[in-house]
Chains A and B, each alone.
Chain A
Amino acid sequence: MGTGIMGDVVLRGQGLRKSFGLTHALEDASLDVVSGEVVAVMGPSGSGKSTLLHCMAGIITPDAGSIAYKDKDLAKMADGERSALRRTEFGFVFQFGQLVPELTCLENVALPLRLGRTARKEAERQATRWLERLEVADVADKRPGEVSGGQGQRVAVARALVTSPSVVFADEPTGALDSLNGELVMRLLVDAAKETGAGVVLVTHEARVAAYSDREVVVRDGRTRQLEPA
């Protein structure tokens, strides 16, 4: 997939609520993900950004509210259908720890395709193309433990994009990188997403990183607020 028309809402979360015991992580959160658009989710620590991302991605189930992927209600999907959706239509980039340490970088990038039963050769061919796209072809045969943080994040971005997902979820993707590397990762992520037409949900507390987005949503005390540029 990933060929959604620019400007279409691919994923819509509305009125989301989620509590963990007595903690109300989300009170009333809404978020639209538009294909080809990067939306930055900002807000103080503990405000509910990651919880919102996890709900939107179908990783956790909200207590109330609705999430629709291309008009299909996530809550009404069977578990298998939801995890297939996550595997084929969603890509993920986190701050760290997302690559499988035993696999080479190339194998890591090819993994989502392999799980989708793409033949090994073809999966590795596509993975190589993405590693090149992210300017880390030279680390293909290394294991994640043997590459720098910035290289690792670019490998992670390659892995998130290899299935041409319609939505990429990135939770502090540059959180562990210095400014230059963080911005390089952002530039490559945004360019690649624009090229494939993926919508990107970018959780970050860094304004310079958020400045790579097209739109900003602020989360405070579990409530979203869309800010209109003055």
Chain B
Amino acid sequence: MSIPHALLGLLESGPRHGYDLKRAYDERFGHDRPLHYGQVYSTLARLLKNGLVEERGIEPGGGPERKRYAITDAGVTDVDSWLMTPEKPELYLQNTLYTKVVLALLSGRSAADVLDSQRAAHLKTMRELTTRKRNGDLADQLICDHALFHLEADLRWLEVTTARLDELRKQVS
């Protein structure tokens, strides 16, 4: 997640103080991980240096918390190009789970148990997300859905791999 771009994007609706920006971010995107003030101010300093934001209406006696920040034209262009650049689809090739399964097979342990315990852990997290989703607002629902669909994909892999363990055992040994 690019925090600088998210902050820039929030500034498009109008200039804000740093603390105000932090609050807006936390409300919308910070469900799990609210920003630290330090993080907000260091990010703003960097954006300022790169000409993507500018200071507005500095009040006398101003430490950083007294300044308001506004997005510049260069900032808007930057947000534009960030929004339109697709995120790299994440590949999970050669992940830890595959390694565990192969090592279990090589050592004569139960690879099915490895997969089953992962499966139980996945479903437990999916239950928690489902509960949160059911009690949450639309933002919560969409954020939880994103996680749920990914976990579901993992689970399908666990199922397919469980079904092909005998085949895999022959190949690796």
The interface of chain A, by Cβ under 8 A from chain B, is 44, 187, 206-208, 210-214, 216, 218, 220, 225, 227-230
Query: Is B130's beta carbon under 8 Å from chain A?
Result: yes
| A213: B residues at CB distance < 8 A | 127
Residue contact B126 to A228, C-beta cutoff 8 Å: no
What are the 9 tightest A-B residue pairs by CB atom distance, in nearest-first order?
Answer: A211-B126, A229-B124, A227-B120, A211-B130, A207-B155, A230-B121, A207-B152, A229-B120, A211-B127
Residues of chain B within 8 A of A216, CB atoms compared? 120, 123
Please name the residue on chain B nearest to A210 by beta carbon.
Answer: B123
Show 14 A/B contacts (Cβ-Cβ < 8 Å), sorted by A.
A44-B159, A207-B123, A207-B152, A208-B149, A208-B152, A211-B123, A211-B126, A211-B130, A216-B120, A216-B123, A218-B116, A227-B116, A229-B121, A230-B120
> Knowing A44-B159, A44-B163 touch, does A211 contact B120 (C-beta < 8 A)?
no
- Indicate if the CB atoms of B152 and A229 lie closer than 8 Å: no
Check: B151 CB closer than 8 A to any chain A CB: yes
Residues on B with C-beta less than 8 A from A230 are 117, 120-121, 124
> CA of A229 to CA of B123 in the docked complex: distance in angstroms?
8
Number of interface residues, chain B, beta carbon within 8 A = 22
- Determine chain B's interface SS by DSSP, over half rule: helix
Instruction: Identify which of residues 145-173 in chain B touch chain A, using a CB-to-CB cut-off of 8 Å.
Output: 148-149, 151-152, 155-156, 159, 162-163
Contacts of B159 in A (CB 8 A): 44
Residue of A nearest to B119 (CB): A227
Residues of B within 8 A of A227 (CB): 116, 119-120, 123
Q: Is B31 an interface residue (CB 8 A)?
A: no
- Residues of chain A lying within 8 A (CB to CB) of residue B122: 207
In whole angstroms, how far apart are the Cα atoms of A44 and B129 in the complex?
A: 24
CB of B56 within 8 Å of the partner chain: no
Interface of chain A, helix or strand or loop or mixed?
A: loop
List chain B positions with a Cβ less than 8 A from chain A.
116-117, 119-124, 126-127, 129-130, 134, 148-149, 151-152, 155-156, 159, 162-163
Nearest Cβ in chain B — how far from A12, in angstroms? 22
Whether A211 touches B121, Cβ cut-off 8 Å, given contacts A44-B159, A218-B116, is no
Q: Contact between B127 and A187 (Cβ–Cβ < 8 Å)?
A: no
Q: How far is the CA of A230 from the CA of B103 in the complex (A)?
A: 20
A206–B152 touching, CB < 8 Å: yes
Chain B nearest Cβ from A189, distance in angstroms: 13
Inter-chain CA distance A211–B119, complex, in Å, is: 12
Residue of B nearest to A214 (CB): B127
8 more A-B residue pairs beyond the given contacts A211-B130, A227-B119, with a C-beta to C-beta distance below 8 A: A44-B163, A207-B123, A207-B152, A208-B126, A210-B123, A227-B120, A227-B123, A230-B124
* A23 to B110 Cα, complex, angstroms: 27
Nearest-neighbour CB distance to chain A for B128, whole angstroms, equals: 9
Residues from chain A with Cβ under 8 Å of B124 in the complex: 229-230
Given the known inter-chain contacts A206-B152, A208-B148, A211-B127, please indicate yes or no for A187 contacting B134, CB distance below 8 A.
Answer: yes
A187 to B135, CA, bound (A): 11
